[in-house]
Amino acid sequence: MYNERVLKEFANPQNVGEMKDANAVGTVGNATCGDIMKIFLKINENDVIEDVSFQTFGCTAAIATSSVATAMVKGKTIEEALKITNRQVIDELGGLPAQKIHCSVLAEEAIKEAINNYLTEYKKNKK
């Protein structure tokens, strides 16, 4: 059902865990649907994502997409990160089964949610 790349990413995911000093957090999904993705970002004063991590409750695809999506935004500016689409996440994984496409959408949304939270709350509080 899953390709080797997806399984490899699932077996050894990158950027796993809670980040205590994150300044941006985004959570999407819900337990009823079987997927929750939480993304932690540490964004510096130049709006560059210095560090990123995730926690995910979900299937193989949800964990694999969390892993590659976090790797893709690391070192990027928030402007660049906001442009990352679920399609790019799928391509990075070499494809996902049709019924698992929503996992890649969750990854895109979780990153956007984290950055939006940063822009509306963290920056506002700083001023």
Partner 1 sequence: MRKVYLDYSATTPLSKTVLAEMMPYFTEQFGNANSMHAFGQQGAYAVDGARRKIAELLKVKPTEIYFTSGGTEADNWALKGGANAYKDKGKHIITSKIEHAAILSSAAQLEQQGYKVTYLPCDEKGIIRPQYLEAAITDDTSIVSIMMANNEIGTVQPIKELAEIAHRHGAIFHTDAVQAMGSIPVDIADLGVDMLSFSGHKFYGPKGIGVLYIKGGIKPDKLIAGGHQERTRRGGTTNVPAVVGLSKALEEALDGLDANYNHIKGLRDYFVQEVEKNIGYVIYNGHREHRLPQNANFAFEFIEGESLLLTLDLNGIACSSGSACSSGSLEPSHVLLATGLPIEKAHGSIRFSFGKDTSKEDVDYVLQNLISAVGRLRAMSPLYSEFIGGKQ
24, 62, 89, 111: which one binds partner 1 (CB under 8 A): 62
Measured from the CB atom, the residue of 23 and 60 that comes closer to partner 1 is 60
Q: Compose the 70-109 pattern: x for residues touching partner 1 by CB under 8 A, - for all others.
A: ---------------------------x-x----------
32 binds partner 1 (CB under 8 A): yes
Residues designated catalytic: 33, 103
Contact 84, 49 (CB under 8 A): no
Minimum CB separation from partner 1 for residue 35, in Å?
A: 8
19, 43, 60, 109: which one binds partner 1 (CB under 8 A): 60
Label each residue of the chain as H, E or C.
Answer: CCCHHHHHHHHCCCCECCCCCCCEEEEEEECCCCEEEEEEEEECCCCEEEEEEEEEECCHHHHHHHHHHHHHHCCCEHHHHHCCCHHHHHHHCCCCCHHHHHHHHHHHHHHHHHHHHHHHHHHHHHC
34 binds partner 1 (CB under 8 A): yes
Minimum CB separation from partner 1 for residue 110, in Å?
A: 11
